[in-house]
Amino acid sequence: MKMKWLLTLVICLAMFALPGMAQEAEEITDQCRLVYAPRSEGKKNMGDRSYITYYKGKYLEVETPAEVPCFGLYCSFAGREIPYQVQTLNVEGEWETLLTDDRLYANSYLPLPGLSAFRIAPVEAENVSIAEIHLFGEGEKPGWVQDWKPFEGKADLLVLSAHADDEMLFFGGIIPYYAGQMQKNVIVCYLTDQTSCRRNELLDGLWLCGVRAYPSMGVFKDIKVDTLGDCYGYWGEKNVEEYVTGLFRKYQPDVVVTHDVRGEYGHGAHRTCADVSKKALVKAAEGENGWQVKKLYLHLYKENQIVFDWRQPLSFFEGKTAFDMANAGFKCHASQQSNGLIVQDWGRYANNIFGLYHSEVGLDEAKNDLFEHLEAAVQ
């Protein structure tokens, strides 16, 4: 009787999955048929795991085997992010909108109700451009699938990065440690605009390192200048100051971390991040809608330094270290692997050295935590 009861229990558990026991969804992309719009471009480039190649057309139809309906759609878009829709055929044989995604995410996941035929189309634009597409059967979406959320509440930590890949090269230890291991509310903001390829790459790296709030993409055209004055001259000093002040007020961070005042290897945009953060720190606190950043840390700043140990195993990443994750995150920037830079916690560009430029809560004493002395820090 006991053996029979155990067998019955096992069968019941298999038939009725308990919370937390859902199986990971199988990717069914290879089993599906893609139907391309007339006069579309790049018809065979959505499965090469490259963000440089892409499909572009008025729509993309998806047909799955009848016995394998689609429960999840994950797209990496090329070009500018646009609102898009998932359409299905009605009883009259006409396409009508089932779901609309207007979040403007470069990498977007949508759960679907088990569809055997549907199509992806832009809401208003002429074409939809897709670099990569993944389709899933029933079950829990795999962990690598980026299900981004809009930023909510106020930020514990704002990381201001000049470009995509700087966030891993210079702040790569901070991001996995605080966003992943410590579960802080972290927002990563970029000063410069990015190509669609580099937006997709930076999202891969941030997701891998534990960030779940969609980052803030910059608006300033990337230029290669060596001086702060040249960078301000190109972008407009007032424009940059107003932009970063707006970020501080919008996200209300307790702690801000940004670049070296010398621009690490001398890049003018890096210098600008450091300089404008000092100014925005003051400007953001003014007026009725002001916000006072409690602590501002600058990379490699010589005063009031913290030297982190990024080589300790982290349970959130199954024993991998913050240094390991920074390296993995940087490798997600496939287009930047030939620039000669590497993630390092030694030498001139060590990503574990930060100096406290400004504090509303006193100087650090233990010097092992960006949130030292902050009552608002989540323990």
Q: What is the pLDDT of residues 11-69, one digit of tens each?
A: 343 444 445 567 999 999 999 999 999 999 987 789 888 999 999 999 999 999 989 99
CATH number, domain with residue 335: 3.40.50.10320
Do 162 and 201 reside in the same domain of the chain?
yes
Residues with Cβ within 8 Å of 247's Cβ and at least 6 positions away in sequence, in order, are 158, 160, 189, 216, 280
Mean pLDDT of 274-281: 98
Do 291 and 171 reside in the same domain of the chain?
yes
Do 83 and 192 reside in the same domain of the chain?
no
Q: Which pLDDT belongs to residue 13?
A: 39
State which of 101, 136, 171 marks the end of a domain: 136
Do 125 and 203 reside in the same domain of the chain?
no
**Does residue 10 register a pLDDT over 70?**
no
Which has more pLDDT, 104 or 289?
104
Domains in the chain, number: 2
Q: What is the pLDDT of residues 239-276, one digit of tens each?
A: 999 999 999 999 999 999 999 999 999 999 999 999 99
Residue 59 lies in a domain: yes
Q: Which pLDDT belongs to residue 16?
A: 44
Residue 73 lies in a domain: yes
What percentage of the chain reaches a pLDDT higher than 90?
88
Residue 149 lies in a domain: no
Do 348 and 233 reside in the same domain of the chain?
yes
Do 79 and 203 reside in the same domain of the chain?
no
3 state SS for the chain: CHHHHHHHHHHHHHHCCCCCCCCECCECHHHCEEEECCCCECCCCCCCCCCCCCEEECCEEEECCCCCCEEEEEEEECCCCCCEEEEEECCCCCEEEEEEECCCCCEEEEEEEEECEEEEEECCCCCEEEEEEEEECCCECCCCCCCCECCCCCCCEEEEECCCCHHHHCCCCHHHHHHHHCCCCEEEEECECCCHHHHHHHHHHHHHCCCCECCECCCECCCCCCCHHHHHHHHCHHHHHHHHHHHHHHHCCCEEEECCCCCCCCCHHHHHHHHHHHHHHHHCCCCCCCCCCCEEEEECCCCCEEECCCCCECHHHCCCEHHHHHHHHHHCCHHHCCCCCCCCCCCCCCCCEEEEEEECCCCCCCCCCCCCCCCCCCC
Residue 379 lies in a domain: no
Do 181 and 323 reside in the same domain of the chain?
yes
Q: Which pLDDT belongs to residue 43?
A: 73
Q: Which pLDDT belongs to residue 237?
A: 97
Do 179 and 309 reside in the same domain of the chain?
yes
Q: Which pLDDT belongs to residue 288?
A: 86
Residue 17 lies in a domain: no
Do 253 and 216 reside in the same domain of the chain?
yes
Do 79 and 127 reside in the same domain of the chain?
yes
Across the chain, mean pLDDT equals 92
**Does residue 8 register a pLDDT over 70?**
no
Do 306 and 237 reside in the same domain of the chain?
yes
Q: What is the pLDDT of residues 172-220, one digit of tens each?
A: 999 999 999 999 999 999 999 999 999 999 999 999 999 999 999 999 9
Which has more pLDDT, 12 or 372?
372
Do 237 and 125 reside in the same domain of the chain?
no
Residue 145 lies in a domain: no
Which has more pLDDT, 66 or 134?
134
Domain hosting 208: range is 157-359
Q: What is the pLDDT of residues 108-131, one digit of tens each?
A: 999 999 999 999 999 999 999 999
Q: What is the pLDDT of residues 316-360, one digit of tens each?
A: 999 999 999 999 999 999 999 998 899 999 999 999 999 999 999
Q: Which pLDDT belongs to residue 256?
A: 98
Q: What is the pLDDT of residues 85-96, one digit of tens each?
A: 999 999 999 999
